Chains A and B, each alone.
Chain A
Amino acid sequence: MTGFTIGRRETLLAGLAIAALPRLAHANDDLLYGPADPQARRGGRVTVGSLVEPPALDPFRQAADARIRVSVLMYQGLFFEDQSGVARPLLARGAEVSSDGLAWTFPLREGVKFHTGATMTSADVKYSYDFLRDPRNGSPGAGDLSSVAAIEAPNPSTVVFRLSRPNAALPMTLTNKYGAVVPSGFFNDPNSGTRMNEVSVGTGPFRLRSFRPNSAIVMERFADYWQSGQPYLDEITFAVMPNSAAMAVALQARRIDLAVFSRPQDTQPLERVAGLEVKRWPSLGQRSLDLDCNYGPLKDARVRRAIALSIDKKTVMDASIAGYGTVIGTMVAGMQETWGVPLDRLPNQRVDLDRARRLLAEAGYPDGFEIDLTTIIGYDWMDPAALTIAEQLRRVGIRANIRRVELGVWIRNFRAREMGFTFNDWGTTPDPSLLFYRHFRAAPQGADFRNWNNEKASALLDRGQEVSDPAERKRIYTEFQMLLAEEVPTIMLFSADLLTVNTTRLRNYRQHGTGWYFGLAKAWAAS
């Protein structure tokens, strides 16, 4: 352990620096996981229906969104990714950054217990994040921490992250998507990852009672949770549901108390059922069309622009999710207000078939061309969207052959940067660097899945990560979005609203824009 202390002068500078930090709040425990409800009462069990099930519960090594949805209730990072874009201190009490932006000091919350009964110290925090960032441990979150050069634990209640380059998004990176704080030494057991399917070792408000694959996950209230009086519920059962119809039936029969629907139109029959509440929430997810810039005609930016100019996003959204969402340009709906560029300022957003035809002719395709359009089996919205887009592209002579592939095959192609022309469905934590960097920064720093390899974009993304000043960050990401819309390596179509249906006995549940179940930490059950 390196003995690191912060001098008075450095602390003062840090205090000044933090004032300039964009989206970081000091601890306000009442706002964690959503607002508290003064009428809330303790006790009760609820059942949540879910169409997807995590393959495993290891927050360090499982990228599946289905895992993150539930594991956030058992495992915690240093910060909480507030929907508003603020990184709220969770296991940290705050943050201080050195004037050069290369040393972040996080005082830790005291008296935090693990589900194992042990008390959390800075050694556990250092151990956990060191494990997460080491690529040899195979975590999908390792790349997000590539700017971290060393982690130090100068005393039991302080950790210091030393960076090789400034990273304004560090607090948002230390949230709850990948990794968590677990007891030091936990991973010494080679079967530690799979052990997490039997016991939870986090600090979250709920701990694992049982996980029966293809059936249910049961969590119980963690009695020693550090936030006094929380959570309210005694037990949560996540039941794996076979399909939307069964989920609707189960809600009507009160066999489940809450369900998030992936196809918003499936909630329509439930809107007038007494005792059920249907609610819409803005999403941090996006439904998009990705264009591999190394693939056939898509190599030419004029062709990509022509495609963008041929697509009427509103019609696509209406066809695939019955209009329950927001058409987007280059930013997910949940972050549009804070970070997005208004759609009327972005290029290539409005349908212009004449210009599209001209661009195709200039690119050497006056009669259009034939191209495979990939959809993923199981993603219901993609099939109607594909039919609609194929029809729209036909107007400029592009003949799209719809090709359905299984998710595993799609992931393989995507990771190999051989995606072709495909639909995508992905989300983000609420920070533009976390949204864009991995996907669009040229290799090796980024993955550049779409083979865009754009130097200017990469420079902007590097700069956006380094700069702390909110106004400057906004300017950088505005410029980046203009470039994204002009070059079209992706066409963000729309953000589908998250639709929840709950029984009226479940109170104060707020759906987080990521689709994860943070809200259950503040929900309660009426008798």
Chain B
Amino acid sequence: MAVMLARRLGSAAAAAFLSALAVFLLMRAVPGDIVGQMLGQSGTDRSAEAALRAFFGLDRPMHAQFLDWLGRTLTGDLGRSWYQGRAVTAMIAEAFGVTLQLALFTLAVSTLIGVPLGMLAGIREGTRLDTAIQTFNLLGLSAPVFWVGLMLLVGASAFLGWSPPFIYRDFADDPGENLAIMLLPVISLAILQAAAYSQFVRGLMVTELRREHIRTAIAKGLTPREIYFKHALRNVLIPLTTFMGLILVQILGGVVVIESLFSLPGLGRLILSGLQGRDYPVVQGALLFVVLIAIGINLLVDLLYAVIDPRLRP
């Protein structure tokens, strides 16, 4: 177990370093920098431009900038936002709180809807119910998240006379307002993920229910409840765990669109506004953080495998 963990951590560190390098180089490959953004169409004095470039350290050689950033990053210091002046770590923590809440709510809602639907469709394979659920899956998977979000927003206003608040409040400050803000974004994302879940679980159930040990269980006269939940669902759990990890990563990726659509100050919008303003410390720090999260989730899933399935333990 310790060897496996060490090996996994080693490859994770290598991936993190390569990602850091890629993020750094990509940001600088994009034309335009913060100096142009600050001066716009007005500031035309070359000495002003040079002064600002020196202020942000952009006049230094690229490798010196990278090594400086990497050195500080290794000590946990991601620098400060060039616009806000705040520590990037604090900005990421604040934004990630919003994103994580959105992701976990979405994961919970989509799991609660998608897994039972998938099981039901698998058990009732070939029936009208199965067709109905598969139709939902198809629609859910095909509808773009931003379109669903926009339709929910306009629909809630037109038919219910209700609109979500647009100024974000933390759950701790105002739980009611926070949940009202989260409602439509969570539904928008959860429809897609529930459909994906349902489709995946249905396939697993159909395969599982055709296997010999299930036939044996039926022959033994076990109740359907025991067959589905004790024997079938248990075997579905391993691939489902992997899938949950993938879904979580996918949700974290998908929140960029939904955060922009509903004015949520999460990680996606932090990265997007940082990119637009060429706020290198923010974008580099936040993207690196996202990469580390993805690596972390994959690592966790690998370890969970070992916990769920003893055969995978060394």
Q: CB within 8 Å of A: which residues of B?
A: 30-33, 35-45, 47-49, 51-52, 55, 80-81, 83-86, 95, 150, 153-154, 157, 161-163, 165-168, 260-265, 269-270, 273, 276-279
Contact = CB atoms under 8 A, between A and B. Distances in A.
Given A135-B51, A138-B52, A249-B154, A408 B163 contact: no
B166 A49 contact: yes
Interface residues of A, number: 60
A408 B40 contact: no
Contact of B273 (A53, A241, A245, A253): A53
Contacts of B276: 406-408
A500 interface: no
A426 to B, nearest CB: 6
Contacts of B278: 408
A141 B165 CA distance: 37
B85 A242 contact: no
Contacts of B51: 135-138
A138 B48 contact: yes
Given A55-B277, A242-B262, A243-B261, A250 B37 contact: no
A483 to B, nearest CB: 21
Q: Name the 10 nearest CB pairs between A and B, nearest first.
A: A194-B85, A63-B40, A140-B43, A412-B32, A447-B44, A408-B32, A140-B42, A253-B163, A214-B265, A138-B52
B38 A138 contact: yes
Interface string A227-262: 000000000010111110110011011011000000
B85 A213 contact: no
Contact of A241 (B84, B263, B264): B263
B31 A408 contact: yes
A249 B270 contact: no
A508 interface: no
Given A61-B38, A193-B85, 16 more contacts: A63-B38, A63-B43, A136-B47, A137-B51, A138-B35, A138-B51, A140-B42, A141-B43, A215-B167, A242-B262, A242-B263, A246-B262, A249-B157, A250-B163, A408-B31, A411-B37
A64 interface: yes
Contacts of A178: 42
30 contacts: A53-B273, A135-B47, A137-B48, A138-B48, A139-B43, A139-B48, A140-B38, A140-B39, A141-B42, A142-B45, A212-B168, A213-B84, A213-B265, A214-B273, A215-B265, A241-B263, A246-B263, A249-B157, A249-B163, A253-B161, A255-B166, A406-B32, A408-B33, A408-B36, A408-B277, A409-B31, A412-B31, A415-B36, A446-B44, A447-B44
Nearest to A193: B85
Contact of B36 (A49, A239, A411): A411
A50 B92 CA distance: 24
A255 B166 CA distance: 8
DSSP class of A's interface residues: helix, strand, loop or mixed? mixed
A55 B273 CA distance: 8
Contacts of B45: 135, 142-143
Contact of A214 (B41, B85, B269): B269
Contacts of A142: 43, 45, 48
Given A214-B269, A249-B153, A240 B31 contact: no
Nearest to B40: A63
A449 B85 contact: no
Contacts, number: 172
B163 A255 contact: yes
B55 A138 contact: yes
A197 interface: yes
A214 B270 contact: yes
A256 B150 CA distance: 18
A240 B85 contact: no
B48 A194 contact: no
A56 B40 CA distance: 14
A252 B164 CA distance: 12
B33 to A, nearest CB: 8
Contacts of A194: 80-81, 83-86
A42 interface: no
Nearest to A412: B32
Nearest to B150: A245
Contacts of B49: 138
Contacts of A240: 166, 263
Contacts of B154: 245, 249
Contacts of B37: 55, 63-64, 408, 411
Contacts of A39: none
Contact of B83 (A55, A408, A447): A55
Nearest to B94: A212
A55 B162 CA distance: 31
Given A242-B260, A253-B163, A138 B43 contact: yes
Nearest to B258: A242
A250 B161 CA distance: 11
Given A138-B55, A242-B261, A255-B166, A197 B85 contact: yes
A418 to B, nearest CB: 10
A62 interface: yes
A140 B38 CA distance: 7
Contact of B163 (A197, A214, A252): A252
Contact of B153 (A136, A214, A246): A246
Contacts of B150: 243, 245
A436 to B, nearest CB: 13
Given A142-B45, A255-B165, A409 B265 contact: no
A216 B167 contact: yes
A350 interface: no
A458 B100 CA distance: 57
B168 A245 contact: no
Contact of A136 (B41, B48, B265, B269): B48
Contact of A252 (B30, B43, B157, B265): B157
Given A55-B277, A214-B269, A411 B30 contact: no
